[in-house]
Every structure is written in C-alpha cells, then in structure tokens.
C-alpha cells in the first residue's frame, strides 16, 4: 500500500515537473529534478523483499546520481562524461537485473526474438552512423554507451518472451522508451538541436523508469 501511494506521488510530481518545463520555467524545473527518482527509490525500498530488489535500487540510485551530475553539464564536458558513466553503470545494473529475472527461454518465440535482435542491431548501426561524424573524442564512449543500452533492450526483449503478463510488457516498453530518451539526448547534443528537447527527453525518461519499476514490482509480487 505504501509503495502504491509513493508511486502515485511520483506520477503527480513528474507531471508538475514536466509542466514547468512545458511552460519554460526551466529554473524551477532544475531545482525539482533531484527529487524525482527518490520517489521510485522509496517505492522499491518499502516493497516486500524480493530477489532482485537490491539490483533495482542500485540501478535507480545510479540513474539518480547521473541526473544530478548532468544538471551541471553546461559547466564543462567532464560533467557530461561523468553523467554518462553513471547512466552506463545504471544500464549495466538493469542488464544484470533482467538476466537475474530470466527463466528458460521459450523456443516457440525464436522468430520474435530474432526479429527483435535484428531491429536492435539496426538501431545501433543507424544511430552510430548518424552521430559518428560529430562525436570527436567521444566516439568510443558513446559507442560503448549505445551498445550497452542496446544490450539492455535485448535482455528486456528476452524477458518479454519469458515473463508473465502484464509485467513483461511494462518492462519491454519501459526499456524501449529509455532507449528513445537516450537517443533524443544524443541527437540533440551531437547532431542537431531538437525543439522541446528538454520536455521530450525528460518525459520519456521518467516514463521509462516508472514502467520498468512497475514491471519489476509486478513480476515479483507475492501471491
């Protein structure tokens, strides 16, 4: 019950935060940003114990650290790189989390799996071809990051074919939206400025984190 109240509070607070961005009150939104993910952290913390709880808390904490560091990205490239590292570690934590939740792979879903693998590989190739000319010294770090989020999405896809409904859909959609959010950020920073970039990036990011958390909690709900 306590977790549900906190999750609903996260939705409300996120909508307030997004509203400030939409109405171009960026300064207020900047101060509110550090208080977003703690709602999800508390919701998971107060949930009954389950096998991957600590890993989920680790992933969320690293994302929260990344959020705070990226608030100062305009101060210098080192802040952006440090934020990138924090989110890289967060995605690695999500990969570990999804792999720990996996059961026996369903052979009857091989076609869906390989279609998904092809789509993910296509995404990775296209995004790197678009960004490479403008990455400069960040070619390797950005490629490693793009590869990591692609692997995270791959594990979410494998989970989708194994986990029960509707948790599997929440997690897969969350992973897809997370990749979309990171792609928007990369496109806006390295390729061409996007209109409403802050709104789009943060709205998709918050939705992604929420969906993954909801999915994992449903997957581990005590019967």
39-77 tens-digit pLDDT: 999 999 999 888 899 999 999 999 999 999 999 988 888
Task: Please report the pLDDT score of residue 104 as a whole number.
Answer: 52
Does the structure show a pLDDT above 80 at 1?
Answer: no
Query: Going by C-beta distance under 8 Å and a sequence separation of 6 or more, which residues neighbour residue 129?
Result: none
Instruction: Quick: pLDDT tens for 201-216.
Output: 999 999 999 999 999 9
- Give the integer Cα–Cα distance in Å for 141 and 78: 12
Closest by CA to 144, choosing from 158, 121, 128, is: 128
Identify the pLDDT of residue 85.
95
Give residue 205's pLDDT. Answer: 97
Output the pLDDT for position 192.
Answer: 86
Containing H/E element for 155?
helix 139-160
| Rounded distance between C-alpha atoms, residue 88 and residue 66, angstroms | 9
Distances (CA, A) of 113 to 2, 97, 162, 215: 37, 19, 11, 20
Contact (Cβ atoms closer than 8 angstroms) between residue 93 and residue 55: yes
Q: pLDDT tens-digit profile of 92-148?
A: 999 999 999 876 555 557 788 889 999 999 999 999 999 998 888 889 999 999 999
Average of per-residue pLDDT across 159-182: 93
Secondary structure of residue 179 in the 3-state scheme: helix
Q: Provide the pLDDT for residue 106.
A: 54
Q: What is the pLDDT of residue 131?
A: 92
User: What is the reported pTM?
Assistant: 0.92
């Amino acid at each position: 019950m306590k977790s549900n109240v906190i999750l609903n509070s996260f939705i409300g607070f996120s909508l307030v935060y997004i509203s400030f961005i939409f109405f171009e009150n960026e300064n207020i939104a900047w101060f509110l940003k550090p208080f977003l993910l703690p709602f999800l952290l508390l919701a998971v913390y107060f949930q009954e114990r389950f096998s991957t709880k600590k890993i989920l808390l680790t992933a969320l904490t690293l994302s929260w650290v990344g959020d705070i560091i990226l608030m100062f990205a305009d101060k210098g490239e080192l802040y952006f790189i440090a934020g990138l590292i924090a989110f890289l570690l967060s995605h690695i934590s999500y990969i570990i989390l999804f792999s720990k939740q996996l059961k026996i792979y369903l052979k009857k879903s091989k076609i869906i799996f390989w279609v998904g693998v092809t789509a993910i590989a296509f995404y990775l190739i296209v995004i790197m071809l678009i960004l490479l000319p403008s990455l400069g010294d960040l070619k390797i770090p950005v490629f490693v990051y793009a590869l990591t989020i692609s692997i995270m999405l791959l594990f979410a896809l494998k989970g989708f074919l194994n986990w029960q409904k509707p948790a599997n859909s929440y997690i897969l959609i969350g992973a897809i939206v997370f990749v979309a959010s990171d792609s928007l950020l990369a496109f806006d920073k390295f390729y061409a400025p996007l209109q409403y970039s802050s709104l789009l990036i943060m709205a998709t990011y918050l939705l992604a984190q929420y969906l993954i958390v909801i999915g994992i909690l449903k997957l581990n709900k005590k019967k």
